[in-house]
Structure formats: structure tokens, C-alpha cells
Amino acid sequence: MQFTEFWPFILYAGMVLVLVALIVGLSYILGQRPRERATDEPFESGVVTVGFARLRFPAKFYLVAVLFVIFDMEAAFIFAWAVAFRETGWIGYGGALAFITILAVALIYEWRVGALDWQPKGRKHKKHR
């Protein structure tokens, strides 16, 4: 290969690097540097943080996250099975049916043991009449 084939690319890359360096340099030289009291404090979503960020969460949060991952993966497997439905035939249908049945039994078990309840144990739902 000859150098004449690459010179437009090399020239373009050089001009881009010079332009980026110029913009960053001018921004540093001409930019404002406000130093407020809260400049170095963490800030998220428009609310100034109060207290310590390392809070302990109840196990229910983790349980719900794990359940979400499990049932999300169920959806991915069922989608893959649906795409290959014609190739898998009745054996694939039986396998998918067994998979869905096992996951439905697991969901019913989680529901029965109260893993999906969010309210404290002492409070009951008020029925609206």
C-alpha cells in the first residue's frame, strides 16, 4: 500500500485532534471556576444528600430482585422456544410446558409463604365497601 491512500485520513484525524485540544484548552482557560460551599458534596436528582449512604436494606428487596431475575430469564427462555417452535416439535412443547409448570409452582410457593407481601405483618388490608 502506498502512503498516498492514507494521507486524507491522517490529515482528517490530525485536524480533529487539534480541534479537540483547542476546544478543551479554551474551555479550561476561559471557563468559570465557581467554588461554592456545596461544590464538592454529592448531589443526585436535585436533592442534597442527608445522612450516610450505606443503608441496610431488608432481605425482601433482595428477594424481589432475585425473583425478578428468575422470571425475567423465564421470559427469555420462552421467547427463544417460541422462535424455534417448529424445529423443536412436540418434544420442545413438552419441555416448555414442564418449564412453565415448574416456574408456576415456584411462583405459587413464593406467594403462599408471603415472599411477595410488602406490608408489615401487623397491618391488614382494609376492604372498601
Domain ranges of the chain: 1-29, 59-113
C-alpha distances (whole Å) from 35 to each of 26, 28, 40, 99 are 20, 15, 9, 59
Selecting from 1.20.58.1610, 3.30.450.20, 1.25.40.10, 1.10.240.10, what CATH number does the domain 59-113 have? 1.20.58.1610
**Backbone phi and psi for residue 47, each to the nearest 5 degrees, phi listed first:** -120, 125
Per-position pLDDT tens, the chain of length 129: 566 788 889 999 999 999 999 999 999 899 887 777 766 666 666 666 676 667 777 777 777 788 888 888 888 888 888 899 889 889 999 999 998 898 888 888 888 887 777 776 665 555 555
Residue 11's pLDDT is what? Answer: 93
Residue 19's pLDDT is what? Answer: 97
Residue 101's pLDDT is what? Answer: 92
Q: How far apart are the first and last CA of the chain?
A: 84
Which of 62, 39, 52 lies closest to 115, judged by CA? 62
pTM: 0.45
Residue 121's pLDDT is what? Answer: 66
Residues 6+ apart with CB under 8 A from 67: 110, 115, 116
For residues 56 and 54, give the distance between their C-alpha atoms in angstroms, rounded to a whole number: 7
Residue 48's pLDDT is what? Answer: 66
Could you tell me if 49 and 43 are in contact, meaning their C-beta atoms sit under 8 angstroms apart? yes
For residues 81 and 70, give the distance between their C-alpha atoms in angstroms, rounded to a whole number: 17
Helical segments of the chain, H only: 7-30, 59-83, 85-113
Residue 45's pLDDT is what? Answer: 66
